[in-house]
Amino acid sequence: MEPFDFASQDSVYVQIFLNPPASLKELPLKQFYRLNLPHRLKFDKKGSEIIPTAEFRNLPPDPIYTLGMDVPQAWLVRPHVSHHDLDNIHLASFTGLDKIEGVEAIFDLDYIVVEGHARDPLTGLPPRGLQLQLSTSNSTPIADTQVVANLGYIQFKVKPGVFQLGIREGYGRDVFEMESVGNEGWNSPPVTKAGTEITVTSLEGLTLYPRFKRKPGMETADVLIAPVKDKGTVVDQVMGKKDVEVMQQDQAEINIFTVASGLLYERFVGIMILSVLRNTKSTVKFWFIENFLSPSFLEFIPHLAKAYNFQYELVTYKWPSWLRAQKEKQRVIWGYKILFLDVLFPMDLKKVIFVDADQIVRADLKELVDLDLQGAPYGYTPMGDDNEEMEGFRFWKTGYWHDFLKGRPYHISALYVIDLVRFRQLAAGDRLRGSYQALSADPNSLANLDQDLPNNLQYEVPIFSLPEDWLWCETWCSKDRLHRAKTIDLCQNPMTKEPKLSRARQIPEWDEYDREIANFAKKLADEGIIRSAAYATGVDDLANVGSAKAEKKGEETQPHHKADEAADSGSPSTAELSSQEAKQEGAEPVAPRDEL
C-alpha cells in the first residue's frame, strides 16, 4: 500500500510545534535520516527517469559518520559503488575535489529474505535441528538452513522466483516428512493439494509456516543425533571411506571466517590472508560476512584470490526481528561472530576457524582443524596470564567473573575453532541466542558480547581450552614466549593505549605483508583493473581518519553527501548517517566490564 502523501493534498494543513529543552550539555543528535520514498515516478525533459536519491547537506564537519541504509526486514542491502570509506566519513579531513563533491554511494538490493516458523503439528513444537533446503524447478539446491528452537525459525536469502522447499538429504528425511509448505498461513493446505512450491514475487518478502510430521516409529527420535550405522565388512569400510573422500573434495582443508568493517580493517584482512597462506600447503577458503564489507574490498578480493590461489565466499544472515537488536555497529559485528554460527554457513561445512582481521598467523592452521576438541563444540584460547604488568586489569579475576568461573579460564575471542557438526548436535546456537536474549535486556550486560556470552555459558556449552601458544598478544602475554606464538593478535593495551599500527610494526613480517598487499593493489589500479585505489593507499593514511583538524567555520562550500539507492524506486528505504566523536580508526573498546 502506498503511503499517504500529505504534501499533495490541498485540504490538509499541518502545523508542527517544536519544544526543545532550555539548555543542552551536548548535541543530542547522533543520527541523520533522509527518506527515499517517492510516491510516483519522475522524468527529466528528455524523458529519462530521475533516479531517486537521498542527500545530506550542511552536516557538522567534525564527527566521523557511518553511512548506511535503514530498510525493511525482508531486504538484504549493501553498498555496491563507493570510493570512500563509508564507515569513517570525516568531512573536516576532506580536501580538493572530495571537499566539493562529497561522498557518493550506490546501494543495491541483493536478496529478498524468506522467513518461516516450522512446527510439528502433533506436538506444536519446532522440529529443532531439521535441515531444510530450497531448490530450483530442476531440483538444484540453492540454499539450505536448519530449524532453530527459537520459534522454529528458518531463513533463506533468494532472488524473486519459484522454488521448492524440502528436507535436506540426511537423517532428517528418515525422521520427518513435510505435511505442508506453509505458504498460505498457519493453516496452509497439505502438500498433497498445494505441492511444495513457494513463490517470491514481492519486495515485502515471504513468511512460511511449514509443518513437518514424524514418520511411524520415529516419535522419539532426535534429529540432531543420527544413529551410528554398522561399519560392515572390511571391503565396505574401504569403499565407504573412498565415498567420503570424494564427497569432501569440494571443501577446502582449512576454512576461515572473519569480519571486517572499514578500509583499515579490510587492509588488515589482506595481511592476515597472506600470513595464513605463507604457513600452509593445504587448500584454504575464507568466508567473509558480507554485511559489513566495502565496495572497494569486494572489487579487490577476487583478484587477490586468483593471484594467491585461495577460495572465498560471502555469507550473510538477516538479524531476526524476534532477537533483540544491537544499536552500535561494533556490537552488531560482535553479535554476528557468535549468535548465528549454526545457520550462517552451508550445512555441509564441518569445521571453521574464526581469525580476527588484525591477526598475524605464524603456524599451519591445519593443526587447529585436526585438533581433537574432546566433545566440545568450539575451542578458544584462555586470556594470557603471565604479563605481570597487567595484573590490575585482569577483570576476570575479581567480582562477577571470579565467582562465576570458579577457577575455569576466561577465554579470548580473537581466535577460535568451531566443530559445526558438534555445535549443531548440542543445539549450541539455540542456547547462545536464548542466553543472549535474557542477558541483553540489561544494557549493562555483555560488555564484550562475542567474548562474554560463550564464557558465561561454558557450563552448558563447554569450551575446549586451546594451548596458550595458539594466541599471543602483547597486552596479556609474556614476551618470553613470543617466539612460540602460532598467532599474534593486536589487542588493545588499556594501560599504554598504544596505537595498533605501532604494535603491528613491531612484528617483523607485518611490514612485508603490508607492502606486498599495497603493491599488488597499486598494480591493479594502475592497469585499470580496479577502480578504487584505496588498497594502494598507505596504511597510515587509512588509520589517520579524524586526525586532521576541522576546517574553519563559515566556509561557503559545504560537503555534499548523497546515497543513490538502486533498489525499486517505489519501495520504502531510508538513508542513515550515524555520527560519533572523531577518533583514530582502529581504536578498540575499553576493557570488558566486570559484570554481565
In this predicted model, what pLDDT tens digit does every residue of 233-263 receive, in sequence order? 444 444 444 333 333 447 899 999 999 988 8
- Counting Cα atoms < 13 Å in the Cβ hemisphere of 95 gives 4
- Tell me the three state secondary structure of residue 535: helix
Asked if CATH classification 3.30.479.20 holds for the domain at 251-516, the reply, yes or no, is no
What's the pLDDT score for residue 3?
Answer: 53
What's the pLDDT score for residue 246?
Answer: 32
Portions of the chain given CATH number 3.90.550.10: 251-516
Asked whether 551 and 61 are in contact (CB, 8 A), the reply is yes
CATH number of 112-245: 2.60.40.10
Which residue would you say has higher pLDDT here, 225 or 432? Answer: 432
- Counting Cα atoms < 13 Å in the Cβ hemisphere of 20 gives 6
**134 has pLDDT over 70:** yes
Neighbours of 516 (CB within 10 A): 14
Asked whether 360 and 275 are in contact (CB, 8 A), the reply is yes
- Quote the cell numbers at residue 243: 565415498
Which residue would you say has higher pLDDT here, 418 or 87? Answer: 418
- Cα 528 from chain centre: 30
In this predicted model, what pLDDT tens digit does every residue of 174-215 receive, in sequence order? 999 999 999 999 999 999 999 999 999 999 999 999 999 999
The DSSP string of 279-301 is: T--S-EEEEEEGGG--HHHHHHH
**564 has pLDDT over 70:** no
**582 has pLDDT over 70:** no
Based on DSSP, count helices (H) and strands (E) in the chain, helices before strands: 16, 25
What's the pLDDT score for residue 556?
Answer: 30
**592 has pLDDT over 70:** no
Portions of the chain given CATH number 2.60.40.10: 112-245
In this predicted model, what pLDDT tens digit does every residue of 261-314 receive, in sequence order? 888 899 999 999 999 999 999 999 999 999 899 999 999 999 999 999 999 999
Neighbours of 423 (CB within 10 A): 20
Report the alpha-carbon angle 558-560-564, nearest 5.
Answer: 170
**29 has pLDDT over 80:** no
> Which band of pLDDT confidence, cut at 50, 70 and 90, is reported for residue 45?
very high
In this predicted model, what pLDDT tens digit does every residue of 414-462 receive, in sequence order? 999 999 999 999 999 999 999 999 999 998 899 999 999 999 999 999 9
> Which band of pLDDT confidence, cut at 50, 70 and 90, is reported for residue 567?
very low
> Which band of pLDDT confidence, cut at 50, 70 and 90, is reported for residue 4?
low
Rounded-to-integer distance, Cα 25 and Cα 392, Å:
34
Work out the mean pLDDT of the chain and round it to a whole number.
Answer: 85
